[in-house]
Amino acid sequence: MATLPADLTDMAGVAIKEATKHGKMIATAESCTGGLISSCLTAAAGSSTAFLCGFVTYANEAKTRLLGVPVDAISEFGAVSDIVAAAMAEGALAHSGADMAVAVTGVAGPGGGTADKPVGLVFLSLAETGEDAVVKRYVFAGTRDDVRRSTVGAALELILSRLREFDDEKNDEKTEA
Amino acid sequence: MATLPADLTDMAGVAIKEATKHGKMIATAESCTGGLISSCLTAAAGSSTAFLCGFVTYANEAKTRLLGVPVDAISEFGAVSDIVAAAMAEGALAHSGADMAVAVTGVAGPGGGTADKPVGLVFLSLAETGEDAVVKRYVFAGTRDDVRRSTVGAALELILSRLREFDDEKNDEKTEA
């Protein structure tokens, strides 16, 4: 049996192909998923054409040290917040030289949930050179493992949907031409 | 079904407990495994007591940029070499502030193998503050997925066996007292 679920590695494989086609190098910045997104992106051979590097910034100290997330942002908004997710994605971009970075921070559980920030709350951010970072908020159900797995799926979906916009842009250009 | 194999996450859970007991913070630097080691180390809740951060330096450029691996070392000895594995582990230590870092570089395949460096060749390195980095060489059999999975197992085993030496050292101290 494969080490990682086939539905995730299949999606990651498509993302790598799409990114390669559009000449985009990807970086990741992961907190609660702990490297699962980069594991999936590198599952297939040849992923070095589009995957540059990943930061697994599990501890808050690492978010600041490796990605330059401001200490104030973490203390004011919390590590699991839209602000920190965007700062992680932008930091991954700035510290890697990639074209596109996806970042994730969330409460995977089973502990650590509050009324404001329940277990399953996850912020995903996508940053690109020359663009403002986009942030999406999710609340996933299930166990710690379920939350991590759903987060990986959502992150890969976010990368893929952005890459497919480049296809559309290219098609639009052709239509206009 | 769990996202990651239970044999690996169980071993990772024991490593986190042992590291916590000895007050050691762990960092990872992964090339061919792409974040699988850090994924396993963060699979259980509470891993923040001993897991600090991970670097997924898949591209050679990332090994240099994120970990400070000398470009000359990569061009002279190759990215898959004992020298680069040790430089990755030492770089992970220096760039994270962890007490202990494990690094892996290998030829996961199916392509990329040569007579000198066949598919399945993997170098693991363990670095600790104040100690010379240790490097181990392996040749794993099987598919790309098999090689990645075997590498994660060996990396976790390497961390665990080192952490268990601290137990022995403590016991020796007791015997001597």
Asked if A34 and B42 touch (Cβ cutoff 8 Å), the reply is yes
Class of the CATH domain delimited by A15-170 = alpha beta
A35: left (phi over 0), alpha (psi -120 to 50) or beta: left
Burial of B68 (0-12, 13-18, 19+ CB in 10 A): middle
- Choosing among 3.20.20.140, 3.40.630.40, 1.10.3720.10, 3.90.950.20, the CATH entry for B6-149 is 3.90.950.20
- B61 interfaces chain A, CB cutoff of 8 Å: yes
What is the nearest CA distance from B122 to chain A, expressed in angstroms? 16
Residue type, B14: V
pLDDT, tens digit (0-9, with 9 covering 90-100), for B27-85 = 999 999 999 999 999 999 999 999 999 999 999 999 999 999 999 999 999 999 999 99
Chain A residue numbers touching B58 (CB-CB < 8 A): 38, 42, 47-48, 51-54
Burial of B130 (0-12, 13-18, 19+ CB in 10 A): exposed
- With CA atoms as reference, the chain B residue closest to A58 would be B53
Q: Is A56 on the interface with B (CB under 8 A)?
A: yes
Place of tokens 């992964």: B30
Cβ atoms A8, A149 nearer than 8 A? yes
Q: Choose, out of B7, B31, B58, the residue to mutate when testing the contact with A (most A CBs < 10 Å).
A: B58
Q: What is the pTM of this model?
A: 0.96
What are the residue boundaries of the structural domains of chain A, listed by start?
Answer: 15-170
Which candidate from B44, B54, B58 shows the least CB-CB separation from A52? B58
CA–CA separation, B136 vs B139, rounded Å?
10
- Count how many Cα atoms sit within 13 Å of the Cα of residue A144 in the half-sphere of its side chain: 18
Asked if A34 reaches chain B (Cβ–Cβ under 8 Å), the answer is: yes
Please report which confidence band the pLDDT of residue B176 belongs to, taking 50, 70 and 90 as the band edges.
low
Q: What is the pLDDT along chain A (177 residues), one digit of tens a residue?
A: 799 999 999 999 999 999 999 999 999 999 999 999 999 999 999 999 999 999 999 999 999 999 999 999 999 999 999 999 999 999 999 999 999 999 999 999 999 999 999 999 999 999 999 999 999 999 999 999 999 999 999 999 999 999 999 988 877 776 665
φ and ψ of B41, to 5 deg: -65, -25
Tell me the pairing of strands A26-30 and A100-106.
parallel
